[in-house]
Amino acid sequence: MKLYRNLVLVALILTFGVVSLGAYVRLSDAGLGCPDWPGCYGKITPLHAADAINAELAERPEGPVSHAKAWKEMVHRYFAGTLGLLVLAISVLAWRWRRETAGGLGLATGLLGLIVFQALLGMWTVTLLLKPLVVSGHLLGGMATLSLLLWLWLRERGHSSHAYFARVDHLRGAVVVGLVLVAAQIALGGWVSTNYAALACTDFPMCQGTWVPAMDFEHSFTLRRELGETAAGDLLPLTALTAIHWVHRVMALIVTLYLGWLAFRLLRTPGYVCFGLVVGGLLVLQVGLGISNVLFSLPLALAVAHNAGAALLLASMVWLNHRVHRR
C-alpha cells in the first residue's frame, strides 16, 4: 500500500506541473505549435519534425508554428502522457489491492476515465483549432484531475490523530459553498483565457474608464462557436470580450469576500487556524496576481502564476472539505 500511496502523491505533484505547463503553452500561443496529435507532424519529437516545421515557417513565417512552440507543446504532451501512465498504474493497483484501499475502487477508476477524456480533449484542442469550449474543458479537466488525486491521497494516507481531525459540523455547508465558488471562478477565468479577453479591460478597478462598460452578453457566453467568432461566424466584438472579463471581475469580488469571511471563521476555530492562514494567504496572492496581470498588460510569468495560484487555492478548498467531511 505504500507504493500505491506514493504513486498517488507523485501523480498529484505531476498534475500540478501539467496544469501549470498547460497554462504556459496556452498563454505563450503555443497551442498549435504542433498541428497534429499525438506527435508533431507525425514524429515523436520536434527535432525529428524539423523539416516539416521549416517548410511551414517558410510558407507562413508569422503563423502559429515554430520550433520553440513545437517544443513547448510536445513537452506538455510528454508530461501529460507520463501522468496518464501513472493514473493507469494507480487504477491497476487499486483493483489489485481493492480489499486494502480506504475507499474502494470508484475514485481510482473514475480518475482513469477522466484521464482518457482529457487525452481526447487535448487532441480536439489541436484538431478543432483552439475552440474555446474545448480548451476551457481541457483546463477544467486538469483541475478536476488535481482535485480527485488530492482527495484520493488524503483518503489513503489516513488520520494522524482523532483530536486534530475533530468534526466541525457548523463549517460543512460553508466550505462546500467555498469550493463551488472557487470552481466557478476558475471556469470563468478559463473562459477569459481561452477567448483572449484578459486585456479587454486595461485599467483597475474600473474597466475602460467606467464601472459598467458597454457589454455584449449575447455573444460572450455562447459556448458553441469558433475562436474569435460569434456563433454566426462574424468577428467577436470587443464588447463581448469586455463582458467576459467584467463578469470574471465581479465573480472575483464575490469569491474574495466569501473566502475572506471563511478564512476569518477558520482562524477562530480550534484546529483550523492553519487552513485559515493558507486560504487567506492564497486568496491575497490570487487577487494580487489578477490585478497585476491587468496593470502590467499580462506578462507571461504573472499569467502562468495566476493559473498555478488558482490550482493551489482549489487544492486548499478540496483539502479543507476533506478535513471537515471525513468520517
Three cell numbers, residue 112: 482513469
Q: Which one is catalytic: 73, 218, 226, 229? A: 73
Query: Position of cell 463549517?
Result: 171
CA–CA separation, 251 and 33 (whole Å): 33
Q: Is 73 a catalytic residue?
A: yes
Alpha-carbon dihedral 92, 22, 258, 268, rounded to 10 degrees: 60
CA–CA separation, 320 and 147 (whole Å): 12
Q: Is the dihedral of CA 57, 62, 68, 73 positive or negative?
A: negative
- What separation in angstroms does the CA of 7 have from each of 96, 119, 146? 14, 20, 14
Residue 110 CA, distance from chain mean position: 18
Contact 321, 175 (CB under 8 A): yes
Length of the chain: 327
Active-site residue list:
73
